[in-house]
Structure 1
Amino acid sequence: MQYIAILAVCLIFLASLAFMMQLGLKQILHAIFYQIYYYFLGSSAMFEDFIYRRSNKTALQKLTGRVAVVSGGARGLGVEVVRSLMQCDMHVVIGCRNLEAGKRTVQEIQDSGVKTGSAEVLPLDLMSLKSVKLFAEKVLQKYSNLHLLINNAGIMFVPFKLTEDSLESHFAVNYLGHCFLTHLLLPHLKLGAEASRKNSRIVNVSSCAYLAGKINFEDLTMMKGYIPQAAYAQSKLAQILFTIKLNKLLEKSGIPVQVHSVHPGIVNTDLFNGTSLKRVAPFIPALMFKTPSQGASSVVHAAISEELEGTGGNYISNCHISKLKYPATDVEVQDKLWMIMLRLARIEKFGGI
C-alpha cells in the first residue's frame, strides 16, 4: 500500500505539470509550492481525522419550529447536513443553482426514512450578488424568524473565471457571496434568537487550506498569474477572517448571534472531481477520506451543539474547538478585508449592527 500511495503521488504531480507548463517560471514555482503544501496539509488533516475519529460525532436534538438556511444543500456534504437538521425536526431552506437536484435531494432524504422536519428549495447562485439578494428576499418574505445559517456552498480548484460582479470565482462563491447573504439575513437571525431565547448561529464551512492562504490585497482577482490552489486557499482564509471579525462585532453590540468556522475534514465529495487526484488515483479518496456523513458531523456540531452555546469566533474540527494559526489571527488583515468586503458588496451597515 505504501508503494501504491507513493506511485499515486508521483502520477498526480506529473499530471499537474500540464497545468504548470502554461505559466511563467515564477508561477510554476508558486504552483509547485502549493501542490507540495496541499499534500502536506491533506496528510496532516487525514491523520488528525484518524486520531479524533471517535469524537467526530454530535448528538441530534429536537429543534421543532426552528428555521435553517443552508447554501449548497443539494450535493455532497450539504445533503448530509440537511439530513441531520431534518432529523432535528427543523425546517430547512436549501439555496442552490439546480432546483431539480435540490428537490430530488429532499425526496431521497424522506424516502430514506427521515419523517421529521421539512425542507424547501430556492434558487441561489453565489456567483451573482443579484441572485443572492433575490434569494434572501424570498426567504425574508416567508420567515420572520431565522435561527441558523450554514454557508456551505463552495467550489475548489476551478479554472479562472470572473463573475458578473468582476470577482474571481472562488472569492465570490466561497467568500463574498456568503458575506452578502449573511448581511441580508442577520436581522432575522437576531429576531429568531430573541424569540427562542437562544443564540442563533452562523456556520461558515471553511477548510484547513486556510493555512496555505494569503489575502492578495494588490490583486484579489488574481489576474496576474492565476493559480487555482492559491485562489481556493485565499477564499478559505477569507471565510475565517470574516468569522472572527463578525463575531467580535456581534459580541460588542450584544446581538445574540454567534459565528463559527468549520473544517469538516478531508471529505470524499464531488469537489474533488476534475482534480489530478481524482483523475490519476480515484481509489485514494474512497479509501482514505471521510464520507460526506462523517464530514457533516462537525458542521452540525457547530450548528446545534449545546456545548457551544454562548461562544463564537472559533474554528471547529472533528467536533471540537481547534486552535487557529496565523494568518487567520492577524487582526490588521481581518479589519482590512472587512472594509474591502463592505465596499465590494456595497454594504453601508453590515446586518444593521
Structure 2
Amino acid sequence: MYIYLGIIVILFAFCFGFSIQRKQTFKRLFRIVGYQLYYYVLGGRGVLEDYVYFRRNKTYLLPKPGEVAVVTGGARGIGVEVVKKLLQCGMHVVIGCRNVEAGERAVKSIRSCGITSGEVSCFQLDVGSFKSIKTFAGLVLKSFPRVDLLVNNAGIMFVPYAKSEDGFESHFAVNYLGHCLLTHLLLPHMIDTAKEKETNCRIVNVSSCAHLAGSINFKDLSMSTDYIPSASYAQSKLAQVIFTKSLDSKLRNHNIPVQVHAVHPGIVNTDLFDGTLLKIIAPWIPPLFFKTPGQGAETIIHACLAPAVEGHGGSYLSNCRETAVSPQATSKEVQNKLWSVMLSCIEAEKFADLLE
C-alpha cells in the first residue's frame, strides 16, 4: 500500500512539473494522471489475479507435426517463448520480425536449450507498414501450402506520438491495423487449411487488460489533437478485442472452421516496460511481482492448442481461463462501426469474400 501511495505522490509531482514546463492545461494533466492511476489499479488487480490463478496458468503441449504457425514479434519477450513451445510441438514456425538477424539469434538461443524439434523460418516484417505486411504475407503464401495458426503478438506500448508510413498513429497501426491486414491476407489460406483437417485453425490476438481502460475515439482515432500514450495504447488493445469478437462472429455465421481468441498474457516483465515511470522509480517491482515471459506465454499457447477451447472462439482468455471484457467490446454497434473503419483503413472492400 505504501509503495502505491508513494508512486501516486511521485506521479502527481512528475505530471505537475511536466505540465508547468510544457504549459499543459490542468484538464490534460488530470487526464494523464487519471489514466496512470487506472493503469495502476488494473496492474495491481492483474498481479493479484496472476497470483490467485497461478496453478491454472498452465497448458499442455500437443504434437502438431507438419502444421505451420505464423508468429509476429517472435524474436523477443513473450514471442520467443511462444515460438519455443510451438517448436516443441513439432510445428514449422514462421517468425515475422523487424530484424531478421535478431530472429535468427533468438532461434539459435532456443536451439541451444536443447529443443531440436520443429522447423523455423525468419522473415522480415514491420507490422507498422502495410507494404511490409503485404510482402511478408506474400512470402508466407508462396512458401507454405498451409497456415494452421496465426499469433498476432507484436506490439508497442506508451511510445511518443508518431505516425506510421501509412498515416496512422503508431499504437493503432502496429497493435491493431497491421494485424488486421495480415489476418485479412492470410485468412483465405487458413480457411483452405481448415477444410483439410478435423480441428479448427486458430487466430490468436495478444491483447491486454489495459483494454479495460480504453475507448474508441471515432472522431480522432489517431488522437492527434490530444495525444496521451496510455490512452492510445488502451484504445489499440480494446480495438484488438473488438476485432476478435467481430471476426469470430462472422466466421461462425458462415460455418467457417477458423476460430479467433484474444489473450491477456498477464502482467509480464518484458522490455515493453522499459522507460515507464514504474521501472524508473521502482525497477525492483517487475522482476519480483510480474510474470516471466515463459509464464506469460502459457495462455497464448492455451489459446493456440488446448482442446478445451475448440469451437469456443471469440473468447478473451487470461490465466488459461475465459474472463470478462469491456462492455464496449460486446456492443454490436461498436463492433460494426469499427469493422467498417478498419476496412477503410486497410483499403479492403471486403474482409475475405466468404465473410461478406
Counterpart of 1:215 in structure 2 is 216
Normalised TM-score (structure 2)? 0.96
Counterpart of 1:71 in structure 2 is 72
- C-alpha distance after superposition, 1:37-70 (max 9, x if no partner): 0011101111111110000000001000010000
Distance 1:19 1:128, change over 3 A: farther
State the shift of 1:290 in Å: 0.4
State the shift of 1:10 in Å: 3.6
- Alignment root-mean-square deviation, CA: 1.3
Counterpart of 1:152 in structure 2 is 153
Percent of matched pairs sharing the same residue: 54
* Letter of the 2:40 counterpart: Y
Counterpart of 1:332 in structure 2 is 333
Q: How many residues align?
A: 352
* Letter of the 1:265 counterpart: G
Query: Aligned partners of 1:237, 1:171: CA distance in 2, in Å?
Result: 10
Matches within 5 A, 1:166-205: 166-205=167-206
State the shift of 1:325 in Å: 3.2
Distance 1:207 1:234, change over 3 A: same
Counterpart of 1:107 in structure 2 is 108
State the shift of 1:19 in Å: 4.7
Structure 1 stretches of 4+ with a deviation exceeding 2 A read: 2-26
Distance 1:192 1:43, change over 3 A: same
* Letter of the 1:302 counterpart: A
Query: Aligned partners of 2:245, 2:102: CA distance in 1, in Å?
Result: 33
Distance 1:6 1:104, change over 3 A: same
* Letter of the 1:340 counterpart: V
Structure 2: gaps (5+ residues): none
Matches within 5 A, 1:291-306: 291-306=292-307
> Is contact 1:12–1:277 with CA below 8 Å preserved after alignment?
no
* Letter of the 2:260 counterpart: V
Distance 1:326 1:334, change over 3 A: same
- C-alpha distance after superposition, 1:136-156 (max 9, x if no partner): 000000112110000000000
Counterpart of 2:6 in structure 1 is 7
> Is contact 1:91–1:118 with CA below 8 Å preserved after alignment?
yes
Query: Aligned partners of 1:42, 1:257: CA distance in 2, in Å?
Result: 32
- C-alpha distance after superposition, 1:152-179 (max 9, x if no partner): 0000000000111110000000000000
Structure 1: gaps (5+ residues): none
Distance 1:19 1:155, change over 3 A: farther
* Letter of the 2:100 counterpart: L
Normalised TM-score (structure 1)? 0.97
* Letter of the 1:289 counterpart: F
Distance 1:186 1:38, change over 3 A: same
